[in-house]
Amino acid sequence: MITHLDPHPSAADPPTFAGEDNPMRIVTRSAAAGEWTEKSADDVAALFDSMAPDWTAARSDDRYEPLADAIERSHLASAPKNVRVLELGSGTGLGTKVIRRFYDQAIAMDLSLEMLRHAPSELAPQTNTDASNLPLPDASVDLVVMVNMILFPNEIDRVLVPNGAVLWVNTLAEQTPIHLSADDVDQALPGEWTGVASRYGTGTWSVHRRRSAS
């Protein structure tokens, strides 16, 4: 169940960008439903490898502030700075920069080696991996952060500690090509979860935790 908080005063409609039939939106829905193949991974890695050189220059830092708003207006505001944070689909590190304002450490993982090559290495240790099969033990992470990333609900559920949290951001709200609503994320995660969601700037965010832990 998701509680929708009032939008932040900065909230604004995103520009028209990616419609319902955007190929990445279709891949995102399929992956959240458990359909992800080697070909999906190869295609998505090739797409982001090709976009990596221009990725950072084409995006302002402001676009990643929904992540900060999510931390400040959810239960994460009282989390200690030393929680174990895993960022999936970390790309060129634009979200990692915001994460490190709040937390002492983070691990950054991405399928695209080129996206990682364009990320500042001092922000977080980086691993080139497919998030559908994480190289991490069960219950070893306190917080999983995803900004414009494909959701792999079962792997996230596996690596999170029982009272862990999922932070989901779409920087262009419903216009983001890799988009799921807060309710979609809630329904895709295995078991019972509870969460809060809101809007900041052109983005949407949600923070989810297992219902037994609330």
Residues that bind ligand SAM (CB under 6 A): 41, 44, 48, 88-91, 94-95, 109-112, 115, 130-132, 147-150, 178
* 74/90 with CB nearer ligand SAM: 90
* 10, 14, 22, 155, 191 from 140: Cα distances, Å: 35, 36, 34, 12, 18
Q: Which two tokens stand for residue 59?
A: 């995006």
Report d(CA 59, CA 56) in Å as an integer: 5
- Please state the closest distance from residue 174 (CB atom) to ligand SAM, in A: 15
Gap between the Cα atoms of 148 and 28, Å rounded: 10
Q: Which is nearer to ligand SAM, 83 or 94 (CB)?
A: 94
Q: Which is nearer to ligand SAM, 32 or 150 (CB)?
A: 150
Distance of closest approach, residue 192 Cβ to ligand SAM, in angstroms: 25
Q: Tell me how far apart the alpha carbons of residues 160 and 151 are, in angstroms, rounded to a whole number.
A: 14
Nearer to ligand SAM, 14 or 91 (CB): 91
Which of 109, 196 has the CB closer to ligand SAM? 109
Neighbour-count burial for 47-75, b at 16+ CB within 10 Å, e otherwise: ebeebbeebbeeeeeebbbbbbbbbebbb
- Minimal distance in Å, beta carbon 10 to ligand SAM? 18
Pairing of strands 160-170, 203-210: antiparallel
Rounded to an integer, what distance in angstroms lies between the CA atom of residue 80 and that of residue 116? 27
C-beta of 78: minimal distance to ligand SAM in Å? 25
Cβ 178 to ligand SAM shortest distance, Å: 5
Closest CB to ligand SAM among 144 and 150?
A: 150
CA atoms within 13 A of residue 185's CA, in its CB half-sphere: 33
- Give the shortest CB-39-to-ligand SAM separation in angstroms: 12
CA angle 63, 172, 37 (to 5 degrees): 110
The Cα–Cα gap between 24 and 148 comes to 11
